[in-house]
Chain A
Amino acid sequence: DAGITQSPRHKVTETGTPVTLRCHQTENHRYMYWYRQDPGHGLRLIHYSYGVKDTDKGEVSDGYSVSRSKTEDFLLTLESATSSQTSVYFCAISEWDTKEGNIQYFGAGTRLSVL
């Protein structure tokens, strides 16, 4: 598996509390992504980054913010967690280019429960 570490792997929190999930890579890949996975919805993109301090929204970005201050770290923050944000969160990295395509390597996932 590519060098991607997600932390924590499991978290239980209460509604209204802030939560930060961390994705750390050792591959020096330019692109990093955060997805959520819910039954019946597949993988939905929350935010992605195409470089240090360069981020863009995905299809389900409301209620989430991200930061990337170093190439190797991409943080996902839920400012005030809600029960609808209970999900499994996957980080992915890629070295997208127009010739080779966008091969994504996934982290092991973080299971978040908001009570």
Chain B
Amino acid sequence: GENVEQHPSTLSVQEGDSAVIKCTYSDSASNYFPWYKQELGKRPQLIIDIRSNVGEKKDQRIAVTLNKTAKHFSLHITETQPEDSAVYFCAASMAKIIFGKGTRLHILP
């Protein structure tokens, strides 16, 4: 069935360094790839997304890249800050959406 693999499951980076989270998906029909951030005890919230006709998208300190041929997409966070500490989920979507298992990002002081 459809599957989204996300790595790593936990990531610790020094404040100010960059963080990269990678995902692969199995359904070649997927055409929309969102990333969600979930802070402790809160609901997931969309932080950035990319559509299958685009290879890269940036929004301030975050960027997402997509390689449709390899079925890979990645989230890049630069100049990390304490408020970036959270769980991040990737997803691949048509009408229904399949989420990765999440990456817990720790920003170390």
Instruction: For residue B101, give the distance in angstroms from its CB to the closest CB of chain A.
Output: 4
0/1 per residue, A34-66, Cβ < 8 Å to B?
010000111111001010000010110000000
Contact yes or no, B101 A40, CB < 8 A? yes
A40–B99 alpha-carbon span in the complex (Å) = 12
Chain A residues whose CB sits within 8 angstroms of the CB of B93 once the complex forms: 96, 101-102
Number of A positions contacting B (CB below 8 A)? 27
Determine whether the beta carbon of A106 is less than 8 Å from that of B43.
Answer: yes
Cβ contact of A106, chosen from B31, B45, B98, B100, cutoff 8 A: B45
A51 CB to closest chain B CB (Å) equals 11
A98 CA / B31 CA spacing, docked (Å): 8
Question: Does B95 interact with chain A (Cβ within 8 Å)?
Answer: yes
Q: Which residue of A lies closest to B52 (CB)?
A: A101
Question: In whole angstroms, what is the CA distance A48 to B89 when docked?
Answer: 19
Contact with A along B1-42 (1 / 0, CB 8 A): 100001000000000000000000000000110100000000
Query: Size range of the interface on B?
Result: 20 to 34
B67 → chain A, closest Cβ, in Å? Answer: 18
Q: Chain B residues with Cβ under 8 A from A78's Cβ?
A: none
User: How many A-B pairs with Cβ below 8 Å?
Assistant: 58
Question: Does A108 count as interface, using CB distance less than 8 angstroms?
Answer: yes
Any B CB within 8 A of the CB of A104 = yes
Alpha-carbon gap, A103 to B49, bound state (A): 8
CB distance B101 to A42 under 8 Å?
yes
Q: Which A positions have Cβ atoms within 8 angstroms of B?
A: 1, 31, 33, 35, 40-45, 48, 50, 56, 58-59, 90, 96, 98, 101-109
Q: Which residue of B lies closest to A105 (CB)?
A: B46
Q: From residue A92, how far is it (CB to closest CB) to chain B in Å?
A: 8
> B46: which A residues are within 8 A, CB to CB?
103-105
The reply to whether B31 and A101 contact each other, CB–CB distance below 8 Å, is yes
Inter-chain contacts of A41 with B (CB < 8 A): 101
Q: Which 4 A-B pairs have the closest CB atoms?
A: A101-B32, A42-B101, A106-B43, A102-B93
Separation of A105 and B36 alpha carbons in the complex (Å): 10
Could you list 29 A-B pairs, sorted by A, with CB under 8 Å?
Answer: A1-B43, A31-B95, A40-B101, A41-B101, A42-B6, A42-B99, A42-B102, A43-B89, A43-B99, A45-B96, A45-B97, A45-B98, A45-B99, A48-B95, A48-B96, A59-B1, A96-B93, A96-B95, A101-B31, A101-B49, A101-B93, A102-B93, A102-B94, A102-B95, A102-B97, A103-B46, A104-B46, A106-B44, A108-B43
